[in-house]
Amino acid sequence: MLKTLSKQIREFRLPAILTPLCMIGEVFFEMLIPLMMASIIDQGVEKGDMAAIVSIGLRMLVLALGGLLTGVMGGQLAAKASAGFARNLREAMFSQIQEFSFSNIDKYSTSSLVTRLTTDITNIQNAFQMILRMMVRAPLSLITAMFLSFTISPRLASIYLVAVLVLGSFLFMIMKRATKTFSQIFPKYDELNESIDENVTAIRVVKAFVREDYETQKEKKASGNIYQLFKKAESIIVLNMPVMQATVYTCILLISWIGAKMIVTTQQTALTTGNLMSLLTYCMNILGSLMFLSMAFVMITMSQASAKRICEVLDEQSDLVNPEDPVFEVPDGSIEYQNVMFTYAGGSGEPVLRDIDLSIRSGETIGIIGGTGSAKTSLVNLLSRLYDVDSGCVKVGGTDVRSYDLDTLRSKVSVVLQKNVLFSGSILENLRWGDPQATEEECREACRLACADEFIEKLPEGYNTHIEQGGTNVSGGQRQRLCIARALLKKPKVIIFDDSTSAVDTATDAKIRAALAENIPDTTKLIVAQRISSVSHADRVIVMEDGRVDGFDTPENLLKTNRIYQEVYESQTGGNGDFDEGGDR
């Protein structure tokens, strides 16, 4: 875990190394000041020597400025190192997530990834800063102050030793109880983020069903759990200060009483007034350092859970990687499935696809129909290598998809997904996700093929119209047409429409199909659909049932020979049925 995290310090190693050195300097200057204080009292105040007071006072001022300078430098360097470390962690995690395959992403919820990128990294940032500063300063200050106290008066310094043991034991018990509670808090942030993310994403559904009160109560429960755990942990942590103060005041009373008695009875031979003042100053240094050390341990322990969650993402290896000698050119859009078997969850579940053998010529238009759960989407996901097969192989352009460079393959096998996603920005900016270098004229042509130009040109700002996040300010059919245009800009060899015209009326659907057939005849088109009308003009149609190919032929032949296709055709042309539930026949 430490090895994984330390790799992300990178260019901030120098500030991370200089910070402890500054802390050492600060402790050095701070520890000398009480000794100078003893000198100014014993040699100046007691003897009435003004020259000694000025001389020693100037030296104390230099030490104070030295402590201030090193302290400020240490704070700035620690802030730079910890903030840079957090930035690198976020960049590394985000880049790692971009490399994940779908099966990797399936392991984590969106809310969990958001929590790891925000709250967990903030915890690590604070702990790292605490390590650079307090984990160096506190123990060094404690040890140095204790050593100097023993050089002044072993008898009085033994009081500190007892106080440290008593206070240390108490703080250890507080820390142990608090860290156990703190470790339970951060996973609760996942629940809170999940509740908020789900509510904001589906806010229209919430309002449509008047479920605002229910969602509010769900959020209150999630935030209430965090509140209760924090309250429990903080109620333990607050005991630090009163125990610390009680110990400090007890030490001050004992040292003042015993020290004053030593000064009076020995005529300042065993202990001087200045030495007594130094011991009282070291008392605050020793016990304060112990408290800071305990708090640092609490924070570090709190961050352990966060560190573990971050390392889970950083150490996650994508199961889809480029081969050693990848192919960088897809010659055509021909497709072959050879004895394919595929299972989700890394092969541990029930096979989703079984015994798939298909051969599709380049430029063909292929329809794919089947009931819900028949694995239509799983079948086409294998083409762009969103998942890898368990056995057999999938070929595009005569080459196994596992032999291609991933970027090359996905550039030439374009997918219009079931869930149409648009990003905040103008229509042109969304279209250029397909090709960042596309000219406005190329974007207009793609929209013409997708029949999106019909509504875009009616908008006041045309192609510069702003799209809200998720495309919430356009209709479902308009989103689908924009996504089709975006996919066409990639000039693919294979284009997959995964039920991507379901929100488009049948007349527009027919216009899109006709435009695609006329303008990109060499591109292989796979149309996953529920409507028979969407695939009735396809060259051939694949009928899926329970993860197997039940039929693969022209629509005309399937209507004569395939029972499933016949039932769907009859139910839908009858006007009162869909694919999963036939109408009256």
The 3-state secondary structure of 545-558, one letter per residue: ECCEEEEEECHHHH
- Do 150 and 114 fall into the same domain? yes
List the structure tokens of 382: 């294998």
Is pLDDT of 118 > 50?
Answer: yes
**363 and 291, same domain (yes or no):** no
- Tell me whether residue 324 is in a domain: no
Per-residue pLDDT band for 182 (boundaries 50, 70, 90) equals confident
Task: Read off the tokens for 541.
Answer: 């149609």
Kindly tell me the sign of the dihedral angle through the C-alpha atoms of 186, 191, 192, 197: positive
Report the alpha-carbon distance of residue 1 to residue 16 in Å, rounded.
Answer: 18
Tell me what the mean pLDDT of segment 56-81 comes to.
91
| Residue 222 and residue 349 in one domain | no
Rounded Cα gap, residues 19 and 75, in angstroms: 8
Q: Is the pLDDT of residue 581 over 60?
A: no
Report DSSP state, residue 404.
B
In a domain? residue 268: yes
**Mean pLDDT on 343-362:** 82
Predicted pLDDT at 320: 79
Over pLDDT 90: what percentage of the chain?
22
The pLDDT of residue 503 is 66
Distance between CA atoms of residues 137 and 417, nearest Å? 56
Query: What total number of domains does the chain contain?
Result: 2
If asked whether residues 75 and 159 sit together in one domain, one would say yes
Same domain, 149 and 292: yes
The CA distance from 209 to 212, in Å, is 8
Pair 342, 390: CB distance under 8 Å? yes
Residue 76 has pLDDT above 90, yes or no: yes
Name the percent of the chain lying above pLDDT 70: 96
The amino acid occupying position 226 is I
Give the number of other Cβ atoms within 10 Å of residue 263's Cβ: 17
Same-domain check for residues 311 and 349: no
Q: How many CA atoms lie within 13 A of 514 on its CB side?
A: 8
- Displacement of CA 536 from its chain's centroid (Å): 45
User: In the predicted model, what is the mean pLDDT of residues 417-442?
Assistant: 86
Find the mean pLDDT for residues 470-481: 82
| Least reliable range by pLDDT among 20-29, 306-315, 497-506 | 497-506
Rounded to an integer, what distance in angstroms lies between the CA atom of residue 491 and that of residue 330? 12
Mean pLDDT, residues 217-242 taken together? 83
Is 311 in the same domain as 343? no
The answer to whether 116 and 189 have CB atoms below 8 angstroms apart is no
Confidence of residue 281 (pLDDT cuts 50, 70, 90): confident
Read off the pLDDT of each residue in 286-299 and give the average, rounded to a whole number: 78
Based on the domain organization, do 26 and 150 belong to the same domain? yes
Q: Residue 89: which pLDDT band, with cuts at 50, 70 and 90?
A: very high
pLDDT tens for residues 102-112?
777 877 877 78
CATH number of domain containing 15: 1.20.1560.10
Give φ, ψ of 252 to 5 degrees. -65, -45
Tokens of 49: 């020597």
Cα 38 to chain centroid, rounded: 55
What's the mean pLDDT in 254-264? 86
Which of 315, 347, 368 is the last residue in one of the domains? 315
Whether residues 279 and 342 fall in one domain: no
pLDDT-derived band at 68, boundaries 50, 70, 90: very high
- pLDDT, residue 82, reads 93
Position 583 scores a pLDDT of 39
- CB under 8 A, 24+ apart: contacts of 577-585: 578/530, 579/369, 579/370, 579/371, 579/372, 579/530, 579/531, 580/371, 580/372
Average pLDDT over residues 301-327: 84
Q: Within this chain, do residues 472 and 441 fall inside the same structural domain, yes or no?
A: yes
Q: Is 349 exposed, middle or buried (0-12, 13-18, 19+ CB in 10 A)?
A: exposed
Last residue of a domain, one of 265, 286, 315: 315
Task: Give the structural domain span for 407.
Answer: 335-573
For the segment 25-50, the average pLDDT, to the nearest whole number, is 81
pLDDT digits (tens, 9 = 90+) for 354-402: 999 999 999 999 999 988 888 888 899 899 888 888 899 999 999 999 9
Q: Residue 294 pLDDT > 90, yes or no?
A: no
Give the Cβ contact number of residue 421 at 10 Å: 13
Tell me if 447 is assigned to some domain: yes
pTM metric for this prediction: 0.71
Calculate mean pLDDT across residues 483-503. Answer: 85
Residue 283 CA to residue 293 CA, distance in Å, equals 15
Residue 441 domain flag? yes
182 within domain boundaries:
yes
Distance CA 538, CA 566 (A): 16
- With contact defined as beta carbons under 8 Å apart, do 342 and 349 qualify? no
Q: Has residue 330 been placed in a domain?
A: no
Within this chain, do residues 307 and 420 fall inside the same structural domain, yes or no?
no
Residue 584 lies in a domain: no
Tell me the mean pLDDT in the region 416-423. Answer: 79
Q: Is residue 539 within 8 Å of 335, Cβ to Cβ?
A: no
Check if the beta carbon of residue 285 is closer than 8 Å to that of residue 141: yes
Does the pLDDT at position 582 exceed 50?
no
The two structure tokens encoding residue 498: 């995964």
Bigger pLDDT: 499 vs 221: 221
Lookup: tokens for 261: 């008695």
Q: Would 326 be classed as within a structural domain? A: no
pLDDT at 301 over 80: no
Alpha helices in 267-385 (DSSP H): 273-315, 376-381
- Domain CATH for 521: 3.40.50.300
- On whether both 310 and 378 belong to a single domain, the answer is no
